[in-house]
Chains A and B, each alone.
Chain A
Amino acid sequence: MQPFTKHTGLVAPMDRVNVDTDQMVPKQFLKALTREGFGRTLFYDWRYLPGEKPNPEFILNWPRYKGASVLLARANFGCGSSREHAPWAILDYGFHVLIAPSYADIFYNNCFKNGILPVTLPDDQIDELFLRTEKTGGYKLTVDLEAQTVTDDSGLKYSFQLDPFRRECLLNGWDDIGLSLRFEKDIAAFEREHPRRAVMYEPLDVVITKPSG
């Protein structure tokens, strides 16, 4: 995972509460075998007209928000399905930072696994950011993870809170699995002390192959 320290970018506003992950990546794209290329599918049903022609009314298609890398959003962003395709699409589209008053739990968690910083700010500050984004052409924000601040060119400065461990993981780009495997001894000890087995007491119609290698 790429470390995240500081990011400056154009802000795009998504003025809608409860944006669910079905909207971020509709079901027909959940059959892919890789993590790549989901940017094209982001907000697919809102973003395109039939024939994949960009819908000029959808905000991310407005010329002024082309190249945006900071997404300003409303409450409970990312609710619904656990699909990690949603953060993959957000990142592949070019967003590195999300700013919203709240997020759904699974989505929030998934963002950190992909190097996306979901910033949480109170409603009044979010309202102010929406106002500035809509009023100012080419409105940019700088998000500094080290300092935990959101700033713009005209003196706005908001501080945000973040769990210190999650912050450190993002700053260093740490691999989650690698981190956990530091505790291999503890895992092995747990398995010795609390042995787990799943016993099939009657035969079932299941394919079990001896693992290769």
Chain B
Amino acid sequence: MSASFLFLLVLLIGFGAYLMARARAIAASQGRSASLHSLPGYHGAYVAIWTILPATLVLIVWSLVGPQMIDREARLSLPTEVLQQGAAPVELAMGQVRAVARGLPLLTDTERAALEAGTLDVRATLATKGVALAGDTQPYMIKSAQKLNALSGTSTIAMTAVVLALSVAGALWSLRSISQRFRARNRVERVILAALVVASSIAILTTVGIVGSMLSEALRFFQSVSPTSFFFGTVWDPRFAAAGSTGSSGQFGLLPLLAGTLYIAFVAMLFAVPVGLFAAIYMSEYASRPVRSIAKPLLEILAGIPTIVYGFFALVTVGPFLRDISAELNGLVTGNYTNFIQAQSVLTAGIVMGIMLIPFVSSLSDDIITQVPRSLRDGSLGLGATRSETIKRVVLPAALPGIVGALLLTASRAVGETMIVVLAAGVAARMQLNPFEPMTTVTVKIVNQLTGDLEFTSPQTLVAFALGITLFTITLCLNIYALYIVRKYREQYE
């Protein structure tokens, strides 16, 4: 019986138990429904929870742990000479065993007899059944596979029995407690509260998961590449090793990637900050209501456009435009019509990312600026200051901390942006200062290292996690500091 079917069955029992419990509660009320402490539905829910919850938990744990334990048993059943050969051959053998185990139930009776006699070409037969084997099988693999199947069979039966027994027992036990004064509602609510707590802990678990998973993979990376050569290396040349070889012949210097990331983010901010900030100032301080009601949503559309579309825009429009215009300019000045801006360049990626960031800057700063109390503006205007003087000398200085926070949040977004740089920045990891040349970023390299066929033992793949944790740390610092500043700023004017 498969786990999902079993789960459905448990749900069904739970529903039955719910109806029974309700009926029993109504009976217990002796026709005066007010005599019950809790509504009949709560009694039903209480019993249903007891029926479903423990059984389902056992089901989940069993489904997760069971196969791993069975796998370990099967592994131990391999001949000792195989086990002594080391990790890789054992993995290979186990792969075969698992495939054979999948194929065995598909065999016909005659084929099974041939198998027992040892005359069957297992690989060819299974291939016709749609189970592909990587190599020819050894007799011990068949034995292990049979053992694997036998164990899973027993496990499934045991699981079914235990889960169903638990479910029924839960129903019977909880049905006994139903009475007039039984506080079913309080207990159900306690379970709901527990569920709410579990739900809110998912946010924490996500962070723990991010840090934990990336840290552990990154540590594996640092076993083959020293942290100093990663963090302070100036050459990025990972040299994709042939599959199977774990030699780390490449160089994994973070600095060129970091330089590219920060450079592109800097260009993007250089573009987005003045535009976004002035747009926000205009909208919060000058624009009449109709202008505001048109301009604001228009800019917000920019925020809703997926970054892949910006990447495409850079690739098809902005990149070629910059390349061609640079060729024209060069031609006009020197007579030599070669372009000095590459289609993929720091400038291309920076400008397009800047466009993407305009609405972030403007809506964040708009929020901040409108929080500056009106009384300050009145105070300045009342002294005869012009609007721009009021903005420049009173509003902006008062809003400055908040704006700095907003800009840090934007910078964090720029550092972590992926699709635009993948399509517009290039893949060459170089340390240079010319914005017209391509450079690459941390995010581009994470994508590069993790697309295609992967092997999770080579430093070429694991380096992505080291890059990831670096990126996460940078953005975490920016975010936390920015959120702290903005929060302090809000409290100041609340």
Asked if A and B bind, the verdict is no
Interface residues of A (CB under 8 A from B): none
